[in-house]
A and B are shown apart, each in its own frame.
Chain A
């Protein structure tokens, strides 16, 4: 997430809005956002409705067996269509900004 903040201007340039979603409450997100100087929104899906809708629920995956989201990244174009996605098989390995920007330039940008 920190890496996405660092590259946010590259996302802005392409008109990509970055949005992060987790089960954390708006209060936690506010604190985290201020602490990390995030300028993109952190959205709160405390009851996992949207996480379930995207089939990303990691049941009991939290440190105290809470239901949380598995990591997952989706690039959605102006028509609301998914143009790229990444579902890691290792919790420690996430999509990197470069990967997403390259996917956008390859899959989304030329047509628009």
Chain B
């Protein structure tokens, strides 16, 4: 007897792969980036479908296919989830403590650095010069990793 197709395994695998690669899209929005719930949800759907598919494949091996490729899909999905978790919950948090960074109430260390036109730009000048609207100057310093 020809065993029937086991679509749960395929759907679960697609969800797991989507859960992984969709981070490229979701990372653009703070709401899905600060905590990656959208990706975790996709992984969860993947896990459910894969579990259902595997249960069928192993529980009724005479009726359903997928014992071998289902296991491979599940392993790949698990691997994608593990790698995703490693990156998002571990790798991205490997930051120096910066205990010596200027605290609230401390003077911001002065500096002079070239801007994109190679003109020196000093913090002291930014602060002392009045803003275009005449208000006393305030400065937001954004340190960032660079574009590479």
A residues within 8 Å of B by Cβ? 1, 4, 11-24, 26, 28-30, 32-33, 41-45, 49-51, 53-59, 61-63, 68-85, 87-96, 100, 104, 108, 112
Contact = CB atoms under 8 A, between A and B. Distances in A.
Contacts, number: 217
B137 A78 contact: yes
A57 B100 CA distance: 11
Q: Please list the 5 inter-chain residue pairs (A to B) with the smallest Cβ-Cβ separation, ordered nearest first.
A: A15-B131, A15-B135, A55-B100, A78-B136, A43-B113
Contacts of B121: 19, 41, 43
Q: Which of B27, B34, B145, B148 gathers the greatest number of chain A CB atoms within 10 Å?
A: B145
A41 B114 CA distance: 9
Interface in B87-141: 88, 92-96, 98-111, 113-118, 121, 123-124, 126-127, 130-141
B102 to A, nearest CB: 5
Given A42-B116, A91-B93, 17 more contacts: A15-B135, A17-B140, A20-B143, A21-B141, A26-B117, A30-B117, A54-B109, A56-B98, A68-B146, A69-B143, A71-B144, A71-B145, A73-B143, A75-B138, A83-B138, A85-B104, A93-B30
23 contacts: A15-B133, A16-B139, A19-B140, A21-B144, A24-B146, A28-B146, A30-B117, A42-B115, A45-B111, A54-B102, A55-B101, A56-B143, A58-B95, A71-B143, A71-B145, A73-B143, A79-B127, A81-B107, A81-B108, A82-B107, A90-B92, A92-B33, A93-B34
Nearest to A44: B114
B142 interface: yes
Contact of B140 (A73, A78, A89, A90): A73
Interface in B25-50: 27, 30, 33-34
A16 B141 CA distance: 10
